[in-house]
Amino acid sequence: MLVVIAAVTVVAAVVQRVTGLAFVLVLIGPIVIAYGPVQGVTVAVLLAVIASLFAVPGAWRDVDWPRTLWLLGAGLVAAPVGALTAAALPQTALLFLIGAMGVLALSVQRLGRIARHVRGRPGAIGAGALAGFMHASSGLSGPALASYALGDDWPQRRFAASAQIVFLGYGLVSVALRGLPTIPAPDIAVLAACTAGGMILGAFAARRVPLALARRIMLLCAWAGAIIVLVRAVIALLS
């Protein structure tokens, strides 16, 4: 199973480097199945911090700081609520929550009319708070950020660069709130190395892999993962 998770981690890191998003979205299904909803998310959040550390230097020049700071500040305030929610829920309920957030993340492109109302500073505060809650509870902060970017007509390049700062901030706070994973240290070392390797590989792939192809791979992996998590939740509920 570690080999499968390692391979998916490399794919997730490459997708993150090419598109600027979706590291946890690609990884969440397999890693939750392997390590459970609590430890799986904890590992995913830690690996996402590593991915962001690799992405931030290249994105720094294009960061839109005013928007970024509002999103980051609101998210950091809401993150403790997300961590407490994840800690309080039974395992089956947490599986349903993670699966539902995965589906929401994948459906955000269909929320265009709703997203158009998420604008300006109030939109940034609302989207940031929701994203911070989701990151601390499931690692999936992308949907709220993407909705705000769509509603506020945020240029893709500036948004993708700014998102790396936001993800890093959310990730560091989420690791502090959730604690470090308790899975075997060799597993963490292997997955951390795969994350770093995938980000390095993604830097080369970004020049050669079409963005549309990377997004299709991301969607395929992410939908499969979300469905697997929901099926696992239903099985746990019926057993």
- Give the integer Cα–Cα distance in Å for 68 and 165: 7
Domain that holds residue 138: 2-238
pTM score, two decimals?
Answer: 0.86
pLDDT above 80: residue 188: yes
Task: Give the H or E element holding residue 137.
Answer: helix 120-138
Domain total of the chain: 1
pLDDT 10s digits, 36-87: 888 999 999 999 999 999 999 988 999 999 999 999 999 999 999 999 998 8
Q: Are 24 and 45 in contact (CB under 8 A)?
A: yes
The model's confidence at residue 110, banded by pLDDT at 50, 70 and 90, is: low
The model's confidence at residue 25, banded by pLDDT at 50, 70 and 90, is: confident
Q: Are 38 and 94 in contact (CB under 8 A)?
A: yes
The model's confidence at residue 117, banded by pLDDT at 50, 70 and 90, is: low
